[in-house]
Structure 1
Amino acid sequence: MKDFFDDCKYQTTALTPRLQLKKDGPMWIWEPTPPEKQTWGWFNYVSYWVSDCFNINTWMIGGSFIEIGMSWWQALICVAIGYSVCAVILVLNGFAGAKYHIGFPVQSRSSFGMYGSYIPIINRSLMACVWYGVQAWIGGQCVFQMLRAIAPGIVNIPNQLPANTGATSKDFIGFVVFWLVSLLFIYPPVEKIRHLFTLKCILLPIAGLALFIWSIVDAHGMGPIISQPATFTSTSQATWSMVLGITSSMGNMAALVVNTPDFTRYAKKPSDIVWSQLLTMPIGFLITSFMGIVVASGSKVIYGTVLWSPLDLLAQLDNRAAVFFIAFAFALATLGTNLCANSIPAGADLSALFPRFINIRRGGYICALIGLCICPWKLLADAGGFLNFLSAYSVFLGPIAGIMVCDYLLIQKQHLVVAELYKTQGLYTYSHGWNWRAYAAYIEGMIPNLPGFAGALGASVPVGATRVYGFAWILGFLVAVAIHYGLSTIFPPSAATDRPGTETVDEIVYAEYKGDDLEHASKSST
């Protein structure tokens, strides 16, 4: 065993990949979280979701439902159903991480195979890059409102961009400032910026509550707000719009549902991730969305038009101190969300894909660059486009979540041999490193939604395809579960039949990390 560690080269922390130089070639591995880093109890997961749910993107989703014609209670139903379903699946997908203390890149190997796991990792990292750009654009709008509060004359800057750009020169001022500042926070490791998340957890609820109360006061109470009817012209239109709303709420959580093992790996025990997330996550997002719904409805009472983005509402306010504080809180929240939900996961995924060239920090910078190149201002040009983007996001990640949940709970019977997850030739090699059952399920999970996805991109498709597309995330999830379970039952993989069954969890996880060898590894990684 000592030879194993003598042949290893280490990066700066135990959370980064380790290069194993063996006869069968180099292979980067992600070690299980050691006991001293398993520090997250149920309260930490509650705190995480309280902090994460208060973000401007969640606020905008609720407001966008009002913009497309829903009443306040219809919008609230969409949010409640969407986030509740996601909470259940997120907890189910997090069990393996909490039990074996492994992250998403490693757990996905048990489902897709050693090399097959690269596709889900690429998918997740690309989506994180897209979201980084979207969040950066939102953060840039926050920064512009801060600048407007300091120097009101900035609103008079002439636009030098063509109309088809979908943005103005003023918009890009805030975006560039926010994007550049965010690069500074990508550099330090996440434990060095933990106080940023604490500050976010304190300031944003205060700012959101202030905007919420202001909206109610200026609308002369909740009465005029909740009395506004939906503007749909038919029951069918209302029904399918609510289906889109539910799917969009799920799409907002699609990435975190897939890579939740990256967070549950730090749990003290598996039970810590259950009720702390099943309750806190949907309730927290429901409260934030409710604020966005009320403020958007209130803007229609006050200004005669729905301002589904709170930043558009800030642009209407004259109280410069209030505008600066609220915009600063939203900018801080957006920065924190972009780091923990996008740049850090994308950096981790990219470093797993290209370990010789990319570490987590470099991956974070690549994520920021790609986010700049995807033109996020076009995605946020209108509420309909924003919701279509969220639904499209679901098409590719729903089947991945379905396969991972099905594989661990039903196929592997909640039993993984962690040491085998780090071998190029082992229990999870499947067929040349690929689990064809998982990929058949993945493709079948996407196929029903592809025509509707094409329609969302502007192609002419039948109405039925659009209707099916309304169920994008949950449909992809369920189809993938059914196909994967069926194929694995008919053609059982060796990973489900040839496992050793006598080890305890600690013996499985730390079989190669004990005594002097573990001490040697710890010294080498610092």
Structure 2
Amino acid sequence: MTSINYMLLWFGAAVSIAEIITGGLFAPLGFAKGAAAIVLGHLVGTTILVLGGIIGSQTKLPAIVTTRISFGVYGSYLFAILNIMQLIGWTAVMIVAGGRSVNQITKMLWSFDHMTLWSLVIGALIFLWIAAGKDGLKKLNSAAVVLLFALTVILSGVVFTNSELFTKQPAGEMTFGGALELSVIMPLSWLPLIADYTRFSKTTSGGAWGSWIGYFAGSCWMYLIGLGAAIVTGDSDPAGMMLAANLGLAALGIVILSTVTTTFLDAYSAGVSCTNLVPKASERKMALAMTVVGTALAIVINIEQYESFLYAIGSVFAPLFAILLTDYFLLGRQQVDTGLLVNWGAVLVWIVGVVMYYQFVNLDLVVGATVPVMIITGAIYAVFARLMAGWRTIRAAKAAG
């Protein structure tokens, strides 16, 4: 895959209802402060995301398999299970968000109200998207991104031409540090899967820059649309915006398409993580199974817990990748040791990082929680790595003959 392929892939992933909804949470800050939190958070978060992608493009390994560099084979099993859980959760959340928006549109247009049916339709389309395979994916994604780019232009016109955008101050509570954290967490949520795709890059730089530009541009744009819509109308649901713009039937296709182009990445990478546990399994078949599970979960999930879900992802994967990035880029450990079963020192530092994350969230610092936690976790690991060198479980060597 080329840099253009990655730019289209990650732009399409970023154009999603979830990103618009998250941007809407920043409305109490007003547009200027909210926009500053969005851009600063994405500069940091997208850069961290792409560092994980560079590891994938250089090692040609899926994201969760690369954690064996720091944590060993059994350690990677733990993170595979956690990643499968969060990706199935993302699949369900995205299907619910898309289904609600589609249902809102069909209620307004035809008085048709059936949330469960729309969740099943979106799940079925994701299933077919994955079944198309990598070649089909590139063609489908390229066509979809063109249509989604038109969506961003239309929604931007609806939101940013309103005269109240820069003057109206909505009610509610949100600190700058909290907003910054939610801007960093969104790209961070893709860290456990970006290498699943950059491992196919023609060049490391092409995969890195294409991914960075595509995701940064798309995600910032979606956040800003959600922020503007929430300030002007008090509602960041894109369905309402598109109906206000008289898009009608086109709104239906736009919401479904944006949900599918984002969610298939979650479902597919859940399947890739499954193959870390069951190496002989087919990535595509496992991804299709994960789509079915995510769709079933979407029918019963409570999307109101969405913000807490984002924080949970940050708590697990911020310290995990702080350790992996420290090992790979600072300590020079860039190969998987097949004999390493568990690096208990790395696991201990990771646990410290998880606990520390929630402490920093409660402190509500202006710099958020992810950045200081990753820096401190990486520093602890770098300082004590040699002292903990013996805290490892190594596979017993087979006897000769």
> Structure 2 length normalisation: TM-score?
0.87
Aligned residues of 1:97 and 1:265 also touching (Cα < 8 A):
yes
Aligned residues of 2:119 and 2:298 also touching (Cα < 8 A):
no
Residue in 2 aligned with 1:389? 309
Residue in 2 aligned with 1:485? 382
Does residue 473 (structure 1) correspond to residue 370 (structure 2)? The answer is yes
2:286 alignment partner, SS class: helix
Give the letter for the 1:285 counterpart: S
Could you tell me how far apart the structure 1 residues matched to 2:323 and 2:195 are? 14
2:248 to 320, 323, 330: 323
Cα deviation, 1:99-151, whole Å, max 9, x if unaligned, reads 232222332211111222111121112111000001111221343255447x6
Give the letter for the 2:352 counterpart: E
Aligned residues of 2:84 and 2:274 also touching (Cα < 8 A):
yes
Aligned residues of 2:61 and 2:199 also touching (Cα < 8 A):
yes
Deviation at 1:466, TM superposition (A): 6.0
RMSD: 2.9
Cα deviation, 1:348-404, whole Å, max 9, x if unaligned, reads 111221345x432332243234424545775433xxx43232222211111111111
**Structure showing the higher helix proportion among its residues:** 2
Q: Using a 3 Å threshold, how does the CA distance of structure 1 residues 94 and 179 change in structure 2: closer, same or farther?
A: closer
Could you tell me how far apart the structure 2 residues matched to 1:284 and 1:318 are? 21
Give the letter for the 1:214 counterpart: V
1:206 to 132, 142, 150: 150
**Deviation >6 Å, runs of 4+:** none
Cα deviation, 1:472-508, whole Å, max 9, x if unaligned, reads 433442333123212213344799xxxxxxxxxxxxx
2:168 alignment partner, SS class: coil
Q: Using a 3 Å threshold, how does the CA distance of structure 1 residues 469 and 212 change in structure 2: closer, same or farther?
A: closer
Aligned residues of 1:96 and 1:107 also touching (Cα < 8 A):
yes
Give the letter for the 2:9 counterpart: Y
Count, aligned residues: 392
Whose radius of gyration is greater, 1 or 2?
Answer: 1
Residue in 2 aligned with 1:296? 230
Residue in 1 aligned with 2:347? 439
Residue in 1 aligned with 2:321? 401
1:434 alignment partner, SS class: strand
Q: Using a 3 Å threshold, how does the CA distance of structure 1 residues 178 and 280 change in structure 2: closer, same or farther?
A: closer
Give the letter for the 2:379 counterpart: A
Does residue 48 (structure 1) correspond to residue 9 (structure 2)? The answer is yes
Q: Using a 3 Å threshold, how does the CA distance of structure 1 residues 452 and 75 change in structure 2: closer, same or farther?
A: same
Seq. identity, %: 19
Residue in 1 aligned with 2:35? 76
Deviation at 1:49, TM superposition (A): 2.8
Could you tell me how far apart the structure 2 residues matched to 1:489 and 1:45 are? 38
Give the letter for the 1:207 counterpart: L
Question: 1:235-250 counterparts in 2 under 5 A?
Answer: 241-250=175-184
2:61 alignment partner, SS class: coil
> Structure 1 length normalisation: TM-score?
0.67
- Is there any run of 5+ residues in structure 2 with no aligned partner, and where? 393-401
Q: Using a 3 Å threshold, how does the CA distance of structure 1 residues 278 and 491 change in structure 2: closer, same or farther?
A: same
Could you tell me how far apart the structure 2 residues matched to 1:117 and 1:228 are? 48
Residue in 2 aligned with 1:226? 166
Does residue 106 (structure 1) correspond to residue 97 (structure 2)? The answer is no
Question: 1:408-427 counterparts in 2 under 5 A?
Answer: 408-411=328-331, 413=332, 415-416=334-335, 421=336, 427=337
Residue in 2 aligned with 1:311? 239
Could you tell me how far apart the structure 2 residues matched to 1:336 and 1:475 are? 32
Could you tell me how far apart the structure 1 residues matched to 2:299 and 2:319 are? 25
